[in-house]
Structure 1
């Protein structure tokens, strides 16, 4: 078999990345290589786990080096509505995932999409997920101002084994340097904040229904995920709205944001 010039270039670049695994510029070198094959507009490397906030290892720089306020909101708690975070908790497997494969039915109608995703990521996102021990997922997300094409996704699927292997080998050089702040169970954290903000006490099930609503799940999807009936979902929603004194998901999202910043 004869190797093409592109094949040689790719394997040489992967070899250089292996050499850079313990170097500070590893992530920048990796995304520069990927960008040669499939252009994108933003990226972030982070670690998801069930009992901590996301741990960010590296990310594309903000405008003029200023931290992105929307991304700061994401790290404080908005990540709980991220379809990729939810999928990583529910599916727990390695692979390449596209936004429209993991997003709930009504994702584009959510306040999360309108207030965060559409402004921060813009149009489309794909994510390499490397599943680790301890219910952790090391992720490399690529965001774009336009939809990724089928050809681009196919190319990423082709190089996925190399990327996932590099992510796994990089992790030991990250965890020794950076620690993520411990976080209480999100239900306890949110319930405490809601009680302080609104004087309301929501049940664990009401919190589950509220979070899934905000993430874009229809009543049918919520019922399936929680293994309850659609009518029970509607009852929980009614009780939650009554306790909080609200009438819309927009108001619920505002309370959710306040709770994360409380």
Structure 2
């Protein structure tokens, strides 16, 4: 389905969203409009910030009305392995981003994908990013149990200037209105640098001390980067990456990425 200039229903709906910018039902109204044109199964509006956990402004309700435990685990620390979060930190820009564009080469082989993503998001995800400054990105993420089609992506790409403009205009009202603790999934809680957390967990549980480079290699491995991708990101050789991995596994007394992921989870819950 396409939106032509003469599609008065679309323009009327956008006008209504502008009127609703300062209202509590803004996010639900925006999502309902998008769902008229593109089918998706879950959504969340949140802000990524450097040094803070994600701040959730609104999300789709769970079927039983209770907080989604998997999403709570995401907010506690799994977001550090989220391709969209990583991309927002590495590439600060507004736009529409697809999972296939931001996910590392081996993303679907990671423990993060197996234990969280395919259970919580299931198949595909697409995200509108509104870059606020170098440290903050306001996002509207849409998850689907089916792969988004080329036609759907083309449609979302066409309307993304409207959506991003609405996100930017909504932010002041989010920041200006105090929200009760039981009405918001998560406040922007300061979190220690992931490297510090992981290092402390490793020291406590394994009595080992990893170098900063080994910690970097470990996190990139857990996010799904191949040795070649890690080498490019860290500006080292692929052989050096393999050496760091070997030393890290030896120090930790582990043999698999699954065991490394378990140590990472311990660090986030500490």
TM-score interval, smaller chain: over 0.9
Map Cα deviations across residues 77-133 of structure 1 (whole Å, 9 max, x no partner): 000111101111111100000001111101111111111000000000000001112
Alignment of 1:216-231 (within 5 A): 216-231=224-239
The one of 178, 182, 192 equivalent to 1:184 is 192
Unaligned runs of 5+ in 2: 180-186
SS in 2 for 1:241: helix
TM-score (normalizing by structure 2)? 0.93
| CA drift at 1:244 | 1.0
Q: Which runs of 5+ in 1 are unaligned?
A: none
In structure 1, how many angstroms separate the alpha carbons of the residues matched to 2:109 and 2:93?
A: 28
SS in 2 for 1:18: helix
Corresponding residue for 1:247? 255
RMSD over aligned Cα atoms: 1.4
Aligned to 1:149: 149
What is residue 232 of structure 1 aligned with on the other side? 240
SS at match of 2:64: helix
- Displacement of 1:4: 6.6
- 1:56 and 2:64 matched: no
Distance 1:65 1:18 in 2: 29
Q: Relative to structure 2, which stretch is displaced further, 179-188 or 164-173? A: 179-188
TM-score normalized with structure 1 length: 0.96
Matching residue of 1:130: 130
Q: Aligned partners of 2:236, 2:51: CA distance in 1, in Å? A: 25
1:159 Cα deviation from its structure 2 partner:
0.3
Mapping of residues 164-183 of structure 1, within 5 Å? 164-176=164-176, 177=178, 179-183=187-191
Matches within 5 A, 1:75-224: 75-176=75-176, 177=178, 179-224=187-232
Q: Could you tell me how far 1:194 is from its partner in structure 2?
A: 2.2
Task: State the number of aligned residues.
Answer: 260
Secondary structure, counterpart of 2:7 in structure 1:
helix
- The verdict on how the C-alpha distance between 1:5 and 1:84 changes in structure 2, with shifts beyond 3 A counting, is closer
